[in-house]
Amino acid sequence: MQALIGLVEAAHRGLDRIGTWLPQLALRGLLGWEFLESGLEKLRGENWFADIADKFPFPFSVLPPDASWFLATWIELIGGLCLWLGLATRFFAASLLILTIVAIAAVHWPAEWSSLSELWKGYAITDRGFGNFKLPLLFIAMLLPLLFTGAGRISLDELIRRRLK
């Protein structure tokens, strides 16, 4: 029995050590790719923000659509790259979190809903008239650990922190 307890404790110690870098690295890799890809799509595409500018929440509704498009494009591009590198991770996690909330409000939230069960139909990847806020909601959930715990041990943030110590 003691041997089994020792094995479990050793496994937990190993998981704890891996837990200081692997989860953050995985989140940064996946989110960095997704936001970089979205930014590249905007960079190469046409500005469609003018069509939805009236749905932007304040204070984003005050910005001209061209300025919003520029900011969204470059926050996604630079933020995605910085997440990969683990550089200014908390700043970009917060920036991308705000951007994602604005995207939910302006694009992904259902135009109309009258009950929670009808709203819940928008928790989908495809839009069938009920919105499609599942993916951005997952991005928010994935950005939160990076915002609150940082980039993890394998990051430029950690390298800079160690150099400054």
147-165 pLDDT, tens digit per residue, is 999 999 999 999 999 999 8
User: Whole-number mean pLDDT of the chain?
Assistant: 92
Mean pLDDT value of segment 41-70 = 91
**CA 161 centroid distance within chain:** 23
Q: Which residue has the higher pLDDT, 134 or 130?
A: 134
Distance CA 162, CA 33 (A): 27
Tell whether the model's pLDDT for residue 130 goes beyond 80.
no
**CA 158 centroid distance within chain:** 20
Distance CA 34, CA 31 (A): 5
For the chain, what are the domain ranges? 21-164
**Among 50-59, 87-96, 136-145, which stretch is predicted with the lowest mean pLDDT?**
50-59
Tell whether the model's pLDDT for residue 15 goes beyond 80.
yes
Tell whether the model's pLDDT for residue 93 goes beyond 90.
yes
For the whole model, what pTM was predicted? 0.89
Collapsing DSSP states into helix, strand and coil, what is residue 19?
Answer: coil
Q: Which residue has the higher pLDDT, 118 or 89?
A: 89
The confidence band for 119, taking pLDDT boundaries of 50, 70 and 90, is: confident
Distance CA 152, CA 19 (A): 9
